[in-house]
Homo-oligomer: A and B are copies of this chain.
Amino acid sequence: MPTTTTPSADRPGARVLDHPDVTAIRLEDVLHALADPMRLRIVRCLAAAQGELSCAGIELPVSKSTCTHHYRVLREHGVISQIYRGTAKMNVLRRADLDALFPGLLERVLEAAELQDGRLDD
């Protein structure tokens, strides 16, 4: 019988992933997670999607193993949560948790990213 954790898997027997408890999320880690271009891109997509997105659902100019790596960093640092759904792995932003810990921070980062985009490609 499988161990179940927080982001309750769809169906019993499903593979389950470790997520840091809300109280274990640290600001430095979140900033570090967001500081990478690929990861920031993922976070922006998830924010725009207003829901869950599979890993394959976000196009990135890096190999699959590298994608896996970045998603894991985001999860382990408390920025996203992931659950398996069939052969896919779905990703969601931990907006509520992040907002509770660092009010407004994520929103500002997303906004800043938008602004920078507009600024850079004129």
Which 8 A-B residue pairings sit nearest by Cβ, starting from the closest? A102-B112, A31-B35, A32-B35, A105-B108, A104-B108, A108-B108, A27-B116, A31-B31
Q: Which residue of B lies closest to A33 (CB)?
A: B35
- The A contact surface, by secondary structure, is helix
Residues of chain B lying within 8 A (CB to CB) of residue A115 = 101-103
How distant is the Cα of A103 from the Cα of B111 in the complex, in angstroms?
A: 8
Chain B nearest CB from A50 CB (Å) reads 22
Q: Can you list 10 A-B contacts (CB < 8 A)?
A: A31-B31, A31-B32, A31-B34, A102-B108, A102-B116, A103-B111, A104-B108, A105-B109, A105-B112, A108-B108
**From residue 82 to 119 of chain A, which have CB atoms closer than 8 A to chain B?**
101-105, 108-109, 111-113, 115-116, 119
